[in-house]
Structure 1
Amino acid sequence: MADVPLASLSLTHVHYDPNDPISYFCAWLALVPQGLCVVYATLIWSTREIEILLMFGGQMACEALNFALKRILKEERPKQMHGKGYGMPSSHAQFVSFFSISLTLFMLFRHVPKKPAPSHTPLSMVARVLLSGLALANAGLVAWSRTYLNYHTQKQVFVGIFAGAVSAVGWFIITTIVRRIGLLSWFLDQPVTRLFRMRDLVVEEDLCQSGWEKWEVKRAAATSHVNQKKIS
């Protein structure tokens, strides 16, 4: 084994200048897409929300588009990173652009919370705007980091941002049509979908509200039962 040359797992192998704190920070930003994939998987499994699954499906389609574009355009990375695959467009910039714009479109146009319950107040429009702005700012940082680390030229990053934005808007329109024609409702009624308990509640309630009213009713019933025992 000592004579066998070791390979690097390129999924997380990021080159940066160890003497530059900003370069080190940018190296961590390079892991944002992987972190978002973990977030997607966790939320899909824990909430079973179809909206999150749809967004993840669009994200993977956007990645497939990036894979195809790189092999069609065949543009090299900056000279510092030659030989590390094609650079046009930036996959990181495209990934975070799709995610941030999809989240913004959902927060501002698709998420319509129900009338606040006495025990819970959903996110206000101001809060949703701030969250959207935070997501967009994060996307901008990740995109900028790709040029700082010399993995991409500015043109490659801008094209990646544009491709991600167009994909996000296009996917939002497609899923809106799927909802309006009833195709999504039909899909949720299928035996396989029901087997996995997929649901479509996040468009009208916050994730933290899911099951909250049921919990409050259970707590109230338990408190009432204890009080009755004390009286008796």
Structure 2
Amino acid sequence: MFGDILKTHVTPASKNKIRIDTERNTETERLTKMRRNFSDYVICERKFISIVQPRPLGCGHPGYGMPSSHSQFMAYLAVYCVLWSYRRVKLDDYLWKILGNAGLCALAALVMYSRVALRYHTVNQVLVGAFVGSIFAIFWTALTAIYVDPEISKIEKWKITRMLYFRGHDHR
């Protein structure tokens, strides 16, 4: 969807032509993103239950703070988007990819800093959240590349997927 929007709004005459590889911008990609986000949420909630560490004094929020779910999600988002952009986004000027990824990582770092500055979490809670989110992003990207991508063409041939107009990665 984002790639389709970007393709329609960027003219060929622009200085830095942007082309998004939309072959993965399909129902398959949307389903894997939903599963991934749900899995990330479940992992974060399990960590809240299994690692009992109080929030900083004077926080005013009940419950435990290990790991920081905000830090986990932002680290996950930043790492996954960086990995995704290097696999899927093609730019005429490579500098834009570096700047975009650096901006996303800076935004993630800003969220993590704000969690400590606002005294919602300790530095360790934020770092553990960032570590868990980063590891999960790498794991999910590898899992998808190894197991999901090769099976897409088989799934597209199922009768139910044809009846539902399911579009896999070969659809253009």
Using the size of structure 1 for normalisation, the TM-score is 0.56
Select 1:176's aligned residue among 131, 141, 145. Answer: 145
In the alignment of these two chains, the number of paired residues is: 148
Residue matched to 1:133: 102
CA contact (8 A) 1:188 1:199 kept: yes
CA contact (8 A) 2:44 2:67 kept: yes
Residue matched to 1:229: none
Select 1:152's aligned residue among 121, 125, 128. Answer: 121
CA contact (8 A) 2:152 2:168 kept: no
Partners of 2:103 and 2:59 lie apart in 1 by: 30
Select 2:84's aligned residue among 93, 98, 106. Answer: 106
Q: Superposed, which structure 2 residues align to 1:160-171 within 5 Å?
A: 160-171=129-140
Q: Superposed, which structure 2 residues align to 1:69-218 within 5 Å?
A: 69-81=47-59, 83-108=61-86, 110-111=87-88, 113=90, 124-179=93-148, 182-194=150-162, 195=164, 197-200=166-169
Query: How big is the shift at 1:60?
Result: 2.0
Deviations 1:168-217 (A, max 9, x none): 0111110110245x223323444454415433379xxxxxxx8xxxxxxx
Taking a change above 3 Å as real, the CA distance of residues 76 and 103 of structure 1, as seen in their structure-2 partners, is same
CA contact (8 A) 1:76 1:82 kept: no
CA contact (8 A) 2:71 2:111 kept: yes
SS at match of 1:175: helix
Matching residue's letter, 2:47: L
Deviations 1:104-157 (A, max 9, x none): 00111x2165xxxxxxxx564332222211111111111111111111001000
SS at match of 1:126: helix
CA contact (8 A) 1:95 1:164 kept: yes
The runs of 5 or more residues in structure 1 that have no matched partner are 1-38, 40-46, 114-121, 203-209, 211-232
CA contact (8 A) 2:153 2:168 kept: no
Partners of 2:143 and 2:99 lie apart in 1 by: 26
The runs of 5 or more residues in structure 2 that have no matched partner are 3-24
Higher RCO, 1 or 2 (CA under 8 Å, sep at least 6)? 2
Q: Superposed, which structure 2 residues align to 1:5-16 within 5 Å?
A: none
Matching residue's letter, 1:54: T
Aligned-residue identity in percent: 29
